[in-house]
Structure 1
Amino acid sequence: MDILLLGLVLFFAAHSVSIVSDPWRDRKVANMGEGLWKGLYSLVSIAGFVLIVWGFGLARLDPVILYTPPEWLRRVAMVLLVPVFPLLLAAYLPGRIQAAARHPMLAAVKLWAFAHLLANGTLADLLLFGTFLVWAVLDRISMKHRIQRALPGLPPSRTNDIIAVIGGLALYAAFVFWLHGWLIGVPLAGTRLINLE
């Protein structure tokens, strides 16, 4: 559990600088140069992410069960996850989805984390998904009080919305039927989780 906690601290320390003090971040970028700042940010983020993956995998070997979700909550979670990938793509594909969601990536993270908290009940799940959920909520609140930096993306268009929806649903299907089992070690397709009979 210590490795997971260390990974969460590193990852979210890097991702929370703007939440805590955007002016401090801007001063550091000005002093260090944007390239060096982005390099250090990336190194800390990647190190944190690797530790999160490793630590979560270790924690799953000897899980501390806090609660056992009923089957219907797992089905609710699967439904909540449907818009996650379209929202993630919409963050970089400006259109009506991005305008309506305002911060589609944070909306996607909140849905992803909340759905996983509904479907999983170990201490490691609570730490991992709970931290992501709290961070996304705090980041969204902080955005009301700071100037937003532009994200790279294409010019706004209806085509972007179509790409975000079709591409996002294709990614969702890929995760349900293959990638979740391959990457996470927890297959979803063919299990009772998505068997709605």
Structure 2
Amino acid sequence: MVILVLGLVIFIGVHSIRIMAAPWRAAQIERFGPRAWRGAFALLSILGFVLIVYGYGLSRRYPVPVWLPPFWMAHVTALLTAIAFIMIVAAYVPGNHFKRALGQPFVSGVALWAFAHLLANGTLNDIILFAVFLVWALFELRGENRRDREAGVVYPEGQASRDVIVIVVGLVAWAVFAFWLHGVLIGVRPLG
């Protein structure tokens, strides 16, 4: 569990600098340059992610049950993660209604993904992993929305054709992950 927590501290810590220490971040970018900052950010993010994956795998060998989710919760989680995938895709397709309505669909999608997984998983390692991502996403969402308000950001009107692209790509990505990649990468087939 220590490796999982260390990975989370590094990964979430790096991704929280803009929320918690924006002036320090700006000073470091000014001091070392944007390329060096992005390089250090990427290296620490990769290190944190690798430690999360490795630590999570180790912690699954000796699970500590905290609660037992009902069997039907897997279906609720599947529905919520499908919506989360759509939200995440919306962040990368310009001119869609989701982006206009949510402002920060990627972070909103991460929050929904983490919440959905908390519903369906009751071991200590799962609760730590998904709760940390949920709390981070909520703080990040608050910070990004505040920055948008202060900067007067207005997202453009959405187009129905872009919404269709977002939904189709999001659902296809979700289906590939839910029915195949989740089993291959995580070792759990959530939908059988």
Q: Is the 8 A contact 2:104 2:145 kept in 1?
A: no
Query: CA offsets, 1:139-184, max 9 Å, x none?
Result: 11222443689xxxxxx75443222110110011112211110111
1:83 aligns with 2:83: yes
Paired residue type of 1:178: W
Q: Is residue 2:43 matched to residue 1:61?
A: no
Structure 1 vs Structure 2: percent identity of aligned residues?
A: 45
Shift of 1:55: 0.1
What's the counterpart of residue 142 of structure 2? 141
Moved more, 133-142 or 75-84: 75-84
Q: Distance in 2 between matches of 1:12 and 1:114?
A: 17
Corresponding residue of 2:154: none
Code of the aligned partner of 2:179: F
Report the TM-score, using the length of structure 2 for normalisation.
0.90
1:5 aligns with 5
The residue aligned with 1:48 is 48
Equivalent-residue separation in structure 2 for 1:35 and 1:157 (angstroms) = 35
**Match in the other structure for 1:180:** 182
Deviations 1:121-156 (Å, cap 9, x if unpaired)? 01100110000000001111222443689xxxxxx7
Please tell me whether residue 117 in structure 1 is matched to residue 113 in structure 2: no
Aligned-pair CA distance for 1:72: 2.3
Whether 1:127 aligns to 2:128 is yes
Counterpart of 1:33 in structure 2 is: 33
**Higher helix fraction (1 or 2):** 2
Of the structure 1 ranges 177-186 and 72-81, higher mean CA displacement relative to structure 2 is found in 72-81
Segments of 5+ residues of structure 2 without an aligned counterpart are 152-157
Q: CA deviation at 1:22?
A: 1.3
Alpha-carbon distance in 1 for matches of 2:59, 2:141: 29
Give the SS at the match of 2:82.
coil
Residues 77 and 117, structure 2, Cα contact 8 Å, conserved in 1: yes
Q: TM-score, normalised by structure 1?
A: 0.88
Amino acid at match of 2:109: A
Aligned length: 185
8 Å CA contact 2:104–2:144 kept in 1: the answer is: no
* 8 A Cα contact 2:84 2:113, kept in partner: yes
CA distance in 2, matches of 1:105, 1:68: 30
**Residues 77, 115 of structure 1: 8 Å contact kept:** yes
Distance 1:24 1:92 in 2: 28
The 10-residue stretch of structure 1 (65-74 or 118-127) with the greater mean CA deviation from structure 2: 65-74
